């Protein structure tokens, strides 16, 4: 082999090495995070992703009360000082269901189901209720007028009006008197590649991930065992699915 061809081979190897390292550096966090089910911090919010959750109610102890507590702690709702029980905010609650004929019973946590065609976003006069491109349904509190039409429209009673002034709020989860709020799927976490608080507290009973990615854990689990929607008859194609209901 001539000297020049040796140098060429060396260069090729070097370039391949650089390219390989660069690819690994770029792709690896994505792969690792994908396994965790979350998004890379640098990744843009786009309709490439559709974030969703699969809740296995049989594996959730105490009807998912731990999940409710984790959400409460993360976002600070539910301890409004002046509001009565009917007025207090509830981003997620556990519901007990008993089928009348079969007497089959189960508990499940119910929160915003992050519908693909969200009735709340449809009826909102200002567009404050909106669905992010990645499927997360949110309220822009700066333009919410507090008309509560979205609360009338939501089939899941997932939304709350803040009935009083709030103090000492969590910086990552701003809330406001006179505006409507609901589960944000912890966007402040998922946008930096972390899992929603409820998922972390669920001991694996809730899988979070990208419903658009056929290889994600959530898609695989749904493909294998299916997942039901609450009020599937409404055709809302919810981002939150359940097993065991």
Partner 1 sequence: MSSKKVIYSEVENSGIGYYGLLALFGLFLLGGVIAFFTMEHNGHYITGMNNQTVWGLPHIFAIFLIVAASGALNIGSIGTVFGKKIYQPLGRLSGLIAIALLIGGLVVLLLDLGRVDHVIQMATGHLNFKSIFAWNMILYSGFLGLVGLYLWAMMSRSRLAKKLYRSMGVSAFTWRLILTTGTGSIFGFLVARQAFDAAILAPLFIVLSFSLGLATFLIILMAAYRWTQREVGDAILNRLRYLLAVFILGVLLLEVTRHLTNLYATEHHGVEAFILGGGNLYSNLFWYGYILFGTLAPLALIFCRLLKNSRAALLLAAILTALGGFALLYVIVIGGQAYPLVLFPNAEISSTYFDGVITAYKPGMWEWLLGLAGVALVLIIITVAVKVLRFMPLSLADSVVDPHAK
- Residue in 169, 204, 161, 203 with CA at minimum distance from that of residue 188: 169
Nearer to partner 1 (CB atom), residue 129 or residue 219: 129
101 interacts with partner 1 by CB under 8 A: yes
Binding mask 41-80 for partner 1 (x = CB under 8 A): ---------------------------------------x
Q: Which of 145, 170, 225, 226 binds partner 1 (CB under 8 A)?
A: 145
Q: Which of 27, 127, 169, 172 binds partner 1 (CB under 8 A)?
A: 127
Q: Which of 13, 48, 73, 231 binds partner 1 (CB under 8 A)?
A: 231
- Residue in 159, 183, 179 with CA at minimum distance from that of residue 239: 183
Nearer to partner 1 (CB atom), residue 177 or residue 223: 177
133 interacts with partner 1 by CB under 8 A: no
What sign for the dihedral angle of Cα 221, 155, 93, 230? negative
Cβ atoms 213, 97 nearer than 8 A: no
Mode of pairing for the β-strands spanning 51-56 and 105-111: unpaired
* CA–CA distance, 66 with 72 (Å, rounded to integer): 10
Q: Which of 149, 200, 217, 237 binds partner 1 (CB under 8 A)?
A: 149
- Tokens standing for 42? 């640098």
Q: Residue 37, CB half-sphere, CA atoms under 13 Å: how many?
A: 20
Contacts of 22 (CB under 8 A, 6+ apart): none
Cβ atoms 231, 240 nearer than 8 A: no
Binding mask 170-209 for partner 1 (x = CB under 8 A): ------xxxxx-----------------------------
CB of 63 to partner 1, least distance (A): 9
Which residues of the chain form contacts with partner 1 (CB under 8 A)? 80, 82-90, 93-101, 110, 119, 121-128, 142-149, 151-157, 159-165, 176-180, 230-231, 234, 245
């Amino acid at each position: 082999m001539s000297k020049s061809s040796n140098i060429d081979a060396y260069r090729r190897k070097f370039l391949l090495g650089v390219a390989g390292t660069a690819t690994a550096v770029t792709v690896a966090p994505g792969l690792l995070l994908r396994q965790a089910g979350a998004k890379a911090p640098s990744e843009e919010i786009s309709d490439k992703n559709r974030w969703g959750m699969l809740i296995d109610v049989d594996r959730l102890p105490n009807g998912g009360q731990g999940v409710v507590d984790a959400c409460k702690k993360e976002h600070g709702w539910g301890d409004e000082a002046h509001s009565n029980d009917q007025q207090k905010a509830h981003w997620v609650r556990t519901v007990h269901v008993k089928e009348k004929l079969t007497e089959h019973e189960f508990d499940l946590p119910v929160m915003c189901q992050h519908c693909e065609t969200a009735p709340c976003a449809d009826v909102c006069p200002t567009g404050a209720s909106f669905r992010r491109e990645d499927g997360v349904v949110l309220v822009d509190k700066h333009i919410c007028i507090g008309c509560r039409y979205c609360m009338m429209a939501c089939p899941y009673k997932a939304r709350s009006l803040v009935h009083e002034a709030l103090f000492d709020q969590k910086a990552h989860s701003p809330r406001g008197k006179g505006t409507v709020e609901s589960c944000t799927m912890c966007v402040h976490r998922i946008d930096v590649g972390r899992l929603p608080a409820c998922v972390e507290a669920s001991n694996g009973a809730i899988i979070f991930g990208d419903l658009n990615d056929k290889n994600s854990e959530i898609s695989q689990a749904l493909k294998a065992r299916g997942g039901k929607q609450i009020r599937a008859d409404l055709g809302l194609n919810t981002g939150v699915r359940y097993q065991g209901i």
